[in-house]
Amino acid sequence: MIDPDQRAQQLAREHPASSELLLFASGLLKAQGAIRAAELSAVAPAARPLLEFCAEKGPRELAADAREALGGGFSERVRAYWETGEFDYLARAALAPYARVLRETGHSPERGLTGNCVFCGGGAWISSRIIPPGPGTGEGAMRMLHCALCAFTWQVGRIRCPACGEDNPEKLPSFSAPQHAGVRVEACESCKTYVKSIDLTTDARRVPEIDDLVALSLDLWADSQGQLRLGRFARERRLPQLGELLLRRPQQIPLAAEPRLPVRLGQHDGAERGAQRHAPRGQGGTALAGPDVDPLPGLDLDGVHRPEYAIGGRMTGGPFHG
C-alpha cells in the first residue's frame, strides 16, 4: 500500500466528486502524524494542532465540536474514550497515533475493553482482501479486518460474518458496483450487519481507510436495505471512519445519477463462487438508490446540503431519516 496521504491526494484528483472529503482526510492524516505522546496524559495537549485543523477545515458539526474542545475539557474526553470506548470522533482521532505507537513498540495499552481488536479492544471497521504471503498459496485471497483505533489487522474467515459468526454462504451475500472497482459490501442476512471490503489483490495502491471514502454511496445503499455497518453494530453504534460525520445524516449528502453506468448492483455469493446475480430491485424494476449514485461535484463540507437525491433525472426524498 502507498502512503495514505498520497492516496488521498491521488483519489482527490481522480474523483472530483469526493475531492473535498478526501482532502479533509489528507489534512487530518497529516495532523495525526504530528501528534507525539509518550503517555495518555500527553495526548490531549499534543492534539491541539489536530483540533485547530478540524475547527478550520472540518464539516460544520465537527468544526463546532473542535472549537468547543479547544476551549477546554478535551483531556477528560480523551480519557473517557480510552476507558469506555464511548464514541467521540475527535478523541479517537487524537488517540489513534498513541495507540498505534503502543502496538508498534509492543507496549500494552492497559485499556480494559473487549472489542474485536485483540490488542487495544477497539472495534473493527473495514475489511481488506490481500494475496497470501509465500509461494504456493493459491487458495484465494486472505480476508483481513482493520481496527479503527490502533490499525491492527487480523485474518478472519472469508465465509463468516465478523459480527455474529454466521457461516452459511447463502446468508452472506456480497455486493459491488462497476463505478467502485475493488470495493464491495459484504453483508449478513442473519444479523443485518455488513462490512466494507477493499480489494488489494488487484491494486496494491489502495488504502482501505481512504478508498472507503470514494464509495460512500455503497454505505447509503446498504443502510437503505436495513444493514448496519460493522463498527455501528458494536459498542460505538456509529461509523468509526473519516466519512462518519457525513453518513450520520446521509440525507444531507446530495447525490446524482451516473447515466453511463448500469443502474444495478452486482451480487456474489459469500464463497465467491457461482454465477453473478443482480441485487434486489425496487417497484417497477427501478434500481434501489445508493451504489448507482455518487456525490455531486463540489460536495459542501460546511453543512449546506439539500435533502433530496437525483435518481435517474428525477428528484426524490432521501431514503434515510436522521
Query: What's the rounded mean pLDDT across residues 45-54?
Result: 97
In this predicted structure, the answer to whether residue 248 has a pLDDT above a threshold of 80 is no
Query: What's the rounded mean pLDDT across residues 83-100?
Result: 92
Question: Quick one: pLDDT band at residue 170, thresholds 50, 70, 90?
Answer: very high
Q: Would you put residue 48 in left (φ > 0), alpha (ψ -120 to 50) or beta?
A: alpha
Reference 177, options 141, 218, 216; nearest CA is 218
Highest mean predicted confidence (pLDDT) among 115-124, 235-244, 298-307: 115-124
pLDDT, tens digit, 9 for 90 and up, residues 189-216:
999 999 999 999 999 899 999 999 888 8
What residue segments make up the domains of the chain, in order of their start?
Answer: 4-33+113-317
pLDDT: is 130 or 220 the higher one?
A: 130
pLDDT: is 104 or 301 the higher one?
A: 104
In this predicted structure, the answer to whether residue 249 has a pLDDT above a threshold of 80 is no
Instruction: Report d(CA 201, CA 302) in Å as an integer.
Output: 36
The whole-chain average pLDDT of the chain stands at 74
pLDDT: is 41 or 247 the higher one?
A: 41
pLDDT, tens digit, 9 for 90 and up, residues 134-166:
665 556 789 999 998 999 999 999 999 998 999
pLDDT, tens digit, 9 for 90 and up, residues 251-280:
444 333 333 333 334 554 434 422 233 333
